[in-house]
Amino acid sequence: MSNSIALIGDYNEHVIAHTAIPKVLELARTALVKDLQWQWIETLTIDADLNKLKGFSGFWVVLGSPYVNMDGVLNVIR
């Protein structure tokens, strides 16, 4: 996925940042007239070898800790 961002975190509709970030990315995509995509990656789905994250051009570790899989989040950051 070119121009794609993995949003790393455990989505919770009650966390303001979790609902606001996709709206901001949509505004950025429109303003920049770019093909920008994003996908939420739940922390439980992150394995040690990070295969799920291949092909993303960037990573955004979303606020909202504690994460279900803190080790997975730390592996992404490393």
CATH number at residue 26: 3.40.50
> Cβ distance 4 to 39 under 8 Å?
yes
Which residues constitute the domain of residue 35? 4-77
The edge-to-edge listing of strands for the beta sheet with 58-61 is 37-41, 4-8, 58-61
pLDDT for res 1: 45
> How many domains does the structure of the chain reveal?
1
Cα–Cα distances (Å) from 42 to 1, 25, 54, 55, in that order, read: 18, 18, 15, 17
pLDDT at position 9 over 90:
yes
User: Residue 36 forms beta bridges with which residues?
Assistant: none
Residue 2's pLDDT band (cuts 50, 70, 90): low
- Confidence band for 27, pLDDT divided at 50, 70 and 90: very high
Q: Report the distance separating Cα 52 and Cα 71, nearest Å.
A: 15
Mean pLDDT, range 14-41, rounded to an integer: 91
